Structure 1
Amino acid sequence: MKISKEVKTGILVVLGILLVIYGFNYLKGQNLFDSNSVYYTEFDYNALTESSLVTVSGNPVGKVQDIAYDFKTGKTRVSFFVNEELKFSKNSVVRLYETSLMGGNAIAIILAKDGDMAKSGDTLKSEVESGLVSSLSKNFSGISSELNSTLKATDTLFNNLNAFVTDDSDAGLKSTIKELNETLKSFKATSNTANALLSKNDENLAAILEKFKILSSDLAVVSTELKEANIGTTIETLNKTLNNLNGLLANIDKGEGTMGKLFKDEALYDNLEGATKEMEALLKDIKLHPKRYFRILSKKEIPYKEEETK
């Protein structure tokens, strides 16, 4: 069977058209020979392009198919296709994120474990993740502000330094350098003097440091002994004793108890004073007239006579 040139030309034209359609869709990221499922989502703004990647856990599973602005809702409606082997829940979320510092964007499907399975044509919820570029922009903004403050402080410092230099001529600058040189020479001389003084007194300084070392050791030993002596318990016991003593003195001051009555009861005091005087008189009379009390020394009873007071 012989095919005419017209038929061959028609077949070539049809194949060319099919090849153009396939190439166009391939450039858009869609393979006509793959079996895919199409889903939809919405964002408040558009940061995607057609053929942007669709990923799951960082793995490419599809691409963005179409992007359109919805004049009714004011949102960007995005349609994307994924391999039909991917099964996920309707509760899964489509997340817009940045893929690199060059500004590329993609969408990721954050899989959910609950809910019914999504079907081709369903609309999924969306969210936007703060990308690396946005974070770096914020950090660079903060660094820029701090750098600006530093430059302002440096400018103020130089202005203050310029205020000290009133003579801008070469002579004035030379004078300033000369004074600075003399100051440095004076500081060097002082340093040399201090070094010489330290060199002459090396032995004394060593002895002082050794004594200080011994004193530090003794203080450490004393501190350890005081710690082991349990001074806290001793002070607590002394405090309790003083409290008891204060209570006893308070009772005495109130006239409670034997001691309190002895100090506060005037009648008892007077009785004791009278008894003391009578005891003193009795002892004195015994000393002067022993026969009056010891019958062995005298058979005659000698009556007691109270001594007359002059």
Structure 2
Amino acid sequence: MKISREVKTAVLVISGIVLFIYLFNYLKGENLFDSNITYFTKFEYNALDTSSPVTIKGNTVGKISSITYDYESGQTIVGISVDKRLKFSKNSTVRLYEVSLMGGNALAIVPAEEGDQAQKGDFLPSEIEPGLVKSLSKNFSGLSSNLDGTLKSADSLLTNLNRVVVDDSENGLKAILKELNATLKGFKSLSYSINSLVVKNDENISSILENFKTVSQDLTQLSAELKAANLGESVAKLDATLASMNTLMAGLEQGEGSMGKLLKDDALYNNLEGATKEMEALLRDIKLHPKRYFRILSKKEIPYQEPKDQ
């Protein structure tokens, strides 16, 4: 049986249309071979379109299948088509929320813990979550009043600043800038003078730096010599000597040894003092009566007599 060209053309056209519909729905995230379950909900106004997603816990599980206006109740009836594998209670809430600040809304299924399982075609309760833009619009009056106060403060600040700038008195900004300019000029002149002084005394400065270098080298050599001389050992010996002297002085203070007894023993001191006086008297008697002690000068023994002049 021979198929005509018209039949082949019709088959190709129909196949193209079916393929186009499949690809179009596939790009929209819809699988034609899976049967989804449709539920319904109501809103006081429409803020959705058919491309708005349906999510649960942040995961996309379906899409909006229809948006119709109920002329009797004045509400918008929204049909949501979700995956048949999704099970939740019919007491669950469908929440309308903003996707981002750039616009766009979506529906989220908030599962309820109690209640019978939702069936195909059930109406679910709805709620609207206040978005950021809506919250800002409600509080815009307060923000505007605060902004008005801020602008008034800024205006006062600019007015006072302008008053300071145009002030020609001694306390004005012009006078301050003039004094600052004079100070900078004086500093510039001082820097020129210092530069000229450095240029004129370049040789002297070089000589001073060279002398400083020599002195530093000598100090380095002296430090090395002191290190080689084992100054630490000498200090340790000096410390030991001072410790011995300290011990000796402590012994003298306590009356130990001959010197200590001489310093602390009063009887020994008195005996030494008496012996000294006796020696002084003997020397004086020898000086006055030498014949008494030297027989070669006189054969007659001369008895000892206490000197009259003490």
TM-score normalized with structure 2 length: 0.49
Query: Structure 1-normalised TM-score?
Result: 0.49
Which one has the largest radius of gyration? 2
